[in-house]
C-alpha cells in the first residue's frame, strides 16, 4: 500500500488530547524532550490546560508540533510502516520535517515557539483578522478580497477544501471582504477567534525573524519526501526547505492542491497523524480517490497499523 501521513496544525488542540493514546512511554519521552528544550512542562499544560492557555499561539504551536511527532514515534515504535510521503497543514509542516529526519525535535520546538512569537508580534492586537468563507470557491474568494482591499491587505490564507476558504488581513479589509463574499453567494462568512492574521502579507516581519533563526539551524536532507505548503513541491536541499518555510509564513496554505498532489504522486491512502480529525475530514471533500482516516487515538492507531501491514 502506498500511503501518506499529514500532520495537523493550530486548531486541533484540546485539553487532555494525548490521553486518547493511553499510557505510552514513547509519547511521554517526546514531550519530555520538547519540555526540556523550552524549559516548560508541555505535558502538564496539555493535561490540565486550561483551554485558553492551549489556544495562545505561543503555546499551541509547540504543543501541536510535539503531539504530531509523538504520535509518529509511537507509530514507528509499534512497527508501523514508513509512509511514502509526508506533509503538514501550516505548522504541521514542521512536524512533517521532524518525522522525515530533516529537523531535530528539540530544535523544531524552539523554532516554532519563536515563529509563534514573531507572528503574534507582527501585527498589533486588534488590527488584524481572519475569516472563514463557506460555500464560495477559490476564485470567487480571491475576487472578493481584491474588491474589498481598497489599499489594505486582505487575501486568501488557507485554501482548505472546495467551499472552505479562510482569508486574512487588516481587520477593516477582512470585514469588507465578508460583506462582498456574502453578496457573491457565500453561505456563511464569519470572523474567526484568532490572535493574528496568519498567512498574509502582514506576516512578512515575522518571516524575516524566522529567516534569521533558520539560518542558524542545521537541516538535513529528508529521509521521506516532504510536500510543502507554499509551492506544493518536494524539496531535498536544506536551503530550499528553509526558503519555503520562510515564505510559508506570509503565503497561503495550498491544502487543496497538496492533497490532490499526494494522490497524483501515487498514494491511495492518506492518514492524519496527531490529535483531531480535521485534515481527514477535508480529504474526503478534496480528493475522492484517497482513502484514509485519522490516527486520533489508540484504537485508530491499532486499526491503521493492521490496514497498512504494520506489525
| Catalytic residue list | 90, 199
Residue written as grid cell 475530514: 281
Measured between alpha carbons, how far is 28 from 285 in angstroms, rounded to an integer? 34
Helices (H), the chain: 25-38, 42-48, 51-54, 57-77, 92-99, 105-122, 138-149, 171-183, 204-215, 238-248, 255-264, 278-286, 298-307
Answer yes or no: are the C-beta atoms of 186 and 166 closer than 8 Å: no
Residue written as grid cell 497561503: 252
| Residue 85 β-bridge partners | 4
Helices (H), 87-137: 92-99, 105-122
Angle at 177 between CA 175 and CA 179, to 5 degrees: 75
Specify burial of residue 237 (Cβ count, 10 A radius: 0-12, 13-18, 19+): exposed
> What's the gap between Cα 5 and its chain centre?
12
User: Torsions phi, psi of 265, nearest 5?
Assistant: -80, 5
Amino acid at each position: 500500500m502506498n500511503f501518506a501521513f499529514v500532520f495537523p496544525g493550530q486548531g486541533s488542540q484540546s485539553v487532555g488530547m494525548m490521553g486518547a493514546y493511553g499510557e505510552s512511554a514513547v509519547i511521554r519521552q517526546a514531550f519530555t524532550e520538547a519540555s526540556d528544550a523550552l524549559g516548560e512542562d508541555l505535558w502538564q499544560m496539555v493535561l490540565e490546560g486550561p483551554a485558553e492557555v492551549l489556544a495562545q499561539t505561543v503555546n499551541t504551536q509547540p504543543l501541536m508540533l510535539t503531539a504530531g511527532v509523538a504520535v509518529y514515534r509511537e507509530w514507528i515504535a509499534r512497527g508501523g510502516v514508513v509512509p511514502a510521503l509526508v506533509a503538514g497543514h501550516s505548522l504541521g509542516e514542521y512536524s512533517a520535517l521532524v518525522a522525515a529526519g530533516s529537523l531535530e525535535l528539540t530544535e523544531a520546538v524552539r523554532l516554532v515557539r519563536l515563529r509563534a512569537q514573531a507572528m503574534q508580534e507582527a501585527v498589533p492586537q486588534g488590527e488584524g483578522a481572519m475569516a472563514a468563507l463557506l460555500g464560495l470557491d477559490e476564485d470567487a474568494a480571491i475576487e472578493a478580497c481584491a474588491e474589498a482591499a481598497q489599499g489594505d491587505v486582505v487575501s486568501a490564507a488557507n485554501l482548505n477544501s472546495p467551499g472552505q476558504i479562510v482569508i486574512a488581513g487588516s481587520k477593516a479589509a477582512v470585514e469588507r471582504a465578508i460583506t462582498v463574499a456574502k453578496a457573491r453567494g457565500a453561505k456563511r462568512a464569519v470572523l474567526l477567534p484568532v490572535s493574528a492574521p496568519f498567512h498574509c502579507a502582514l506576516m512578512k516581519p515575522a518571516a524575516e525573524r524566522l529567516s534569521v533563526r533558520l539560518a542558524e539551524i542545521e537541516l538535513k536532507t529528508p529521509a521521506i519526501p516532504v510536500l510543502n505548503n507554499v509551492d506544493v513541491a518536494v524539496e531535498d536541499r536544506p536551503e530550499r526547505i528553509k526558503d519555503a518555510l520562510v515564505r510559508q509564513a506570509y503565503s497561503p496554505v495550498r491544502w487543496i492542491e497538496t492533497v490532490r498532489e499526494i494522490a497524483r504522486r501515487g498514494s491511495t491512502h492518506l492518514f492524519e497523524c496527531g490529535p483531531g480529525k480535521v485534515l481527514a475530514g477535508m480529504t474526503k471533500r478534496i480528493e475522492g480517490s484517497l482513502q484514509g482516516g485519522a490516527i486520533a487515538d489508540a484504537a485508530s492507531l491499532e486499526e491503521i497499523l493492521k490496514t497498512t501491514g504494520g506489525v
